[in-house]
Chains A and B, each alone.
Chain A
Amino acid sequence: QVQLQESGPGLVKPSQTLSLTCTVSGGSISSGDYYWSWIRQPPGKGLEWIGYIYYSGSTYYNPSLKSRVTISVDTSKNQFSLKLSSVTAADTAVYYCARVSNFGDYYYYMDVWGKGTTVTVSS
């Protein structure tokens, strides 16, 4: 059974770059059957999709974050990563990674999630 686990610093200073990694176990990122996604949730607020990546490196980003986001994949380590630059307090959130599955080639949904990791932006 596929499991995802987020890791990275829990505290980032304003204006710096937030870096997180999601490690996939129980399955291969390179299988080509899935996309791999990042989602975040500020304290007490709703979910915000950040972006997703295919094992080949193709990426899709939320337009509101696109200028600051980079998602990459390391198939040799079965991991994918998130970098968010120029962070402010508004980027404080629980960050989740998730697997994106599809049904009939066109219907995409996030069916396996990591437990989430809390990132606080503060000096």
Chain B
Amino acid sequence: AQSVAQPEDQVNVAEGNPLTVKCTYSVSGNPYLFWYVQYPNRGLQFLLKYITGDNLVKGSYGFEAEFNKSQTSFHLKKPSALVSDSALYFCAVRDIGSSYKLIFGSGTRLLVRP
């Protein structure tokens, strides 16, 4: 069965420093991986996805993610964090059944301090 894991409940980083939010996956077949961000009492906003091709994927708001097949990881990164990046981040993988539903991790709360 497809699954993703986000090992950190919370990540703290100072504004201006690089940030990394970790995600590992377990899939049968090719992985289709996604990152979403959620602000309080809001829906999920799409950041980026990996389907195939380059291992470094660039997305919205300066975020990027590195796909590593040997480590089965898809970590989200940003070179310089902003206070406004503080939010809840979800990694997800598409199911391979008939529905192609998203299977989400438990989420990681990112806190960027001024």
Q: Do A and B bind each other?
A: no
Interface residues of B (CB under 8 A from A): none
Question: Which residues of A are in contact with B by a Cβ distance under 8 Å?
Answer: none
